[in-house]
């Protein structure tokens, strides 16, 4: 029997999707990272314009899976989590995993990326319980605060997803079971693309580059069953990240 692949947007999420729709309707943009009571504002330069956190929930064989992921540059950190809606906490049960691709390279970006990823790693190693709150502000914007075991906090503001964002900028990435390939379909021709894929251990298993691409196929028949993180970089450095589950 051929393997099947499920392609979903990579993100953070919680067990009760229906009770927290606001998490899934927004991009969450980091506004401040507070470590040991010291504010660390995110960088804003040619390499990093926003530090993003996204949410997603998906179902497989009748089981709901909840997923967290965050980005500074190309690398991602994320994993599957359990959500407790009684005390507004969540914890990892698969992860946090970190891709092992190229790190940030400009100015303070590599240091900030390490601090941000360590916020999740260190809390996981010290009880693995994250508290969170969502506040709706007077202008209808939202603030998400994730608090670690020692009081460190990641504070995010919201940006509502547009229709184009939800359609991933007119780029479709899906699995073709007949050819055992990922199919990349674009509404408009892309001048250049770079596709990198990492397994659940962070090891790069695919590196694909192409020019003047509108529709293309990427063979996956040699890959084992696993969770894969895909980064698609195209044209002027724009990034799209997806998660692929091969089972």
Express each pLDDT in 3-57 by its tens digit. 444 444 443 333 343 346 777 777 799 999 999 999 999 998 888 888 989 877 7
Q: Which domain holds residue 107?
A: 7-161
For residue 2, is it within any domain?
no
Cα distances (Å, whole numbers) of residue 20 to 124, 126, 193: 23, 26, 35
For residue 80, is it within any domain?
yes
Name the nearest CA neighbour of 23 among 170, 156, 129. Answer: 156
Instruction: Give the chain's length.
Output: 247
Q: Rounded to whole angstroms, how far apart are CA atoms 141 and 169? A: 23
Give the CATH number, domain containing residue 157: 2.40.128.270
163 pLDDT tier (thresholds 50, 70, 90) = very low
> ∠ CA(162), CA(163), CA(169), 5° rounding?
95
> pLDDT value at position 8?
40
**Residue 127 or residue 64, greater confidence:** 127
Q: How many CB atoms lie within 10 A of CB 74?
A: 20
Q: How many CB atoms lie within 10 A of CB 242?
A: 20
- Single residue among 161, 185, 213 that ends a domain in this structure: 161
Do 13 and 100 have their domain in common?
yes
For residue 30, is it within any domain?
yes
Round to the nearest angstrom and report the end-to-end CA distance of the chain.
Answer: 11
Number of structural domains (the chain) is: 2
Cα distances (Å, whole numbers) of residue 6 to 18, 26, 57, 176, 196: 22, 23, 13, 10, 17
For residue 1, is it within any domain?
no
Reduce the DSSP state of residue 20 to 3 states and report it.
coil
Residue with tokens 């660390």, as numbered in its chain: 40
Give the CATH number, domain containing residue 233: 2.60.40.3080
> pLDDT value at position 7?
42
Q: Which of 55-59, 89-93, 116-120, 182-186 has the lowest mean pLDDT?
A: 55-59
**pLDDT tens-digit profile of 94-152?**
888 887 767 788 889 999 999 999 999 999 999 999 999 999 988 888 999 999 999 99
């Amino acid at each position: 029997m051929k393997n099947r692949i499920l392609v979903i947007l990579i993100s953070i999420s919680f067990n009760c999707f229906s009770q927290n729709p606001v998490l899934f309707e927004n991009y969450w943009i980091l506004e401040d990272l507070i470590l040991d009571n010291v504010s660390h504002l995110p960088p804003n330069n040619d390499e990093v314009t926003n530090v993003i956190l996204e949410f997603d929930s998906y179902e497989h064989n009748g089981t709901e899976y909840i997923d967290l992921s965050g980005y500074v540059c190309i690398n991602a950190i994320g994993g599957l989590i359990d959500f407790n809606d009684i005390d507004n906490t969540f914890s990892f049960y698969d992860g946090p995993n970190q891709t092992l691709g190229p790190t940030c390279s400009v100015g303070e970006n590599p240091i900030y990326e390490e601090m941000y990823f360590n916020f999740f790693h260190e809390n996981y190693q010290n009880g693995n319980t994250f508290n969170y709150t969502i506040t709706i502000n007077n202008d209808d914007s939202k603030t998400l605060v994730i608090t670690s075991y020692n009081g460190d906090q990641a504070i995010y503001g919201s940006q509502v997803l547009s229709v184009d964002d939800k359609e991933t900028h007119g780029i479709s990435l899906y699995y073709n079971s007949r050819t055992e390939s990922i199919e990349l379909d674009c509404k408009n021709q892309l001048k250049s693309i770079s596709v990198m894929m990492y397994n659940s251990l962070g090891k790069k298993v695919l590196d694909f580059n192409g020019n003047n691409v509108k529709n293309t196929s990427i063979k996956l028949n040699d890959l084992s069953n696993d969770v894969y993180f895909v980064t698609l970089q195209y044209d002027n450095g724009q990034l799209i990240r997806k998660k692929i589950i091969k089972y």
